[in-house]
Amino acid sequence: MPKRILSGMRPTAKLHVGNLLGALENWKKLEGAESYFMIADWHALTTEYASQSQIKANVIEVVIDYIAAGLEPNKSTIFLQSLVPEHAELALLLSMITPLSWLERNPTYKDQLNEQKGKDLATHGFLGYPVLQAADILLYKADAVPVGEDQLPHLELAREIARRFNHLYKKVFKEAEAILTKTPKVPGTDGRKMSKSYANTIDLSDSPQEVDKKVMQMVTDPARKRRQDKGHPEICPVYFFHTIFNKENQETVARECRTAARGCVECKQEMASHLAPFLKPIYERRKKLESERNRIRDILIEGSKKARAVASQTLAEAKDAVGIGI
């Protein structure tokens, strides 16, 4: 078990089942006294600077999602990036030593420029996204960062920046390892990757009725136009959820789909009946937390104080190593 871990999410939306299976469940397993779970509101601003009005509300929603999903603020540290100004300051310091070419060839940068078509992302802040992320990780001298595969290029950059700093000045930073989730990419209701930008999510804040409705509207194998058409479970998002929430019966489901022995409607109903007991407790914890928003704020303020104590120590070491200040 790694000693110190850090990870975070951007408060651009409420969290969904993809975030739960892809990240939160993994975080939960690793959670301990030296775990830092951040809400990356500065990172949200890199893409949402012109549609920023929801960020503040989403910060609270994401903390509620974290806790409803099982993180324990008494055990780990849950904090807000912008409440720990050391993140911004270290990012500036690291930006001095980060070659532009490292940022320009970052694959996630190129992907996002293509994907987020409606937004002008040709900004200094967006290019510097991985520098800020490196600051997040290095400030806590994290041993490991639990993330999805899409974050590997950012992790690698953080390691490269740490190495360059340590080499140029003094060994202050630690090179953090990635801890990858075992769950493959979770599909959304339309069969594409589950993502807020595709409006295909099942959210942790969806009521049991909403979840059932979304499941019944999910796309299935398009080859099964009629009940007697044989299907290909491996390309069906409903089947994906069977493999996670209805593991014991997955072979039967696959066989009956391939031989047209089951219809998609009953297949969805069966899947929904296995998904519900998993999501319902989270939904119910969430409902309760929604009525305690002041307590949520306090958790975030307290967590950020705790985080700041560590971050300010590391930043002082880094500034001292460089020789900035008096």
Question: Where along the sequence are the contacts to ligand TRP (CB under 6 A)?
Answer: 6-10, 40, 43, 133, 136-137, 145, 147, 151, 154
d(CA 122, CA 178): 28
Cα distances (Å, whole numbers) of residue 16 to 13, 23, 235, 243, 313: 9, 11, 21, 18, 35
User: Rounded to 5 degrees, what are φ and ψ at 203?
Assistant: -90, 155
Residue 215 in the binding site for ligand SF4 (CB under 6 A): no
151 binds, among ligand TRP, ligand SF4, none (CB under 5 to 8 A by kind): ligand TRP
68 binds, among ligand TRP, ligand SF4, none (CB under 5 to 8 A by kind): none
Contact with ligand SF4 (CB under 6 A): which of 7, 146, 221, 307? 221
d(CA 198, CA 174): 37
6 binds, among ligand SF4, ligand TRP, none (CB under 5 to 8 A by kind): ligand TRP
Report, in Å, the least distance between residue 238 CB and ligand SF4: 4
Q: Which of residues 223-252 bind ligand SF4 (CB under 6 A)?
A: 224, 231, 233, 236, 238-239
Count of alpha carbons within 13 angstroms of residue 300, beta-carbon side: 24
Q: Are 299 and 74 in contact (CB under 8 A)?
A: no
Number of residues that bind ligand SF4 (CB under 6 A): 13
d(CA 246, CA 270): 9
191 binds, among ligand SF4, ligand TRP, none (CB under 5 to 8 A by kind): none
Residue 264 in the binding site for ligand SF4 (CB under 6 A): yes
Among residues 24, 31, 41, the alpha carbon closest in space to that of 80 is found at 41
**Exposed/middle/buried for 195, CB within 10 Å: 0-12, 13-18, 19+?**
middle
User: Rounded to 5 degrees, what are φ and ψ at 140?
Assistant: -100, 5
Q: For residue 14, what are the contacts with CB-CB under 8 A and spacing of at least 6?
A: 58, 61, 62, 65, 203, 204, 205
264 binds, among ligand TRP, ligand SF4, none (CB under 5 to 8 A by kind): ligand SF4
304 binds, among ligand TRP, ligand SF4, none (CB under 5 to 8 A by kind): none
Report, in Å, the least distance between residue 153 CB and ligand TRP: 10
35 binds, among ligand TRP, ligand SF4, none (CB under 5 to 8 A by kind): none
Residue 42 in the binding site for ligand SF4 (CB under 6 A): no
Which range touches ligand SF4 (CB under 6 A), out of 37-45, 179-187, 202-210, 262-270? 262-270
Across-strand partners of 275? Answer: none
Cα distances (Å, whole numbers) of residue 153 to 87, 103, 106, 165: 20, 10, 7, 18
Residue 262 in the binding site for ligand SF4 (CB under 6 A): yes
Which range touches ligand SF4 (CB under 6 A), out of 27-35, 75-83, 174-182, 256-264? 256-264
Report, in Å, the least distance between residue 220 CB and ligand SF4: 4
Across-strand partners of 280? Answer: none
Q: Are 246 and 271 in contact (CB under 8 A)?
A: yes
267 binds, among ligand SF4, ligand TRP, none (CB under 5 to 8 A by kind): ligand SF4
Question: Of 155 and 218, which has the nearer Cβ to ligand TRP?
Answer: 155
Say which DSSP state 249 is in.
Answer: G
Binding site for ligand SF4 (CB under 6 A): 220-221, 224, 231, 233, 236, 238-239, 257, 262, 264, 267-268
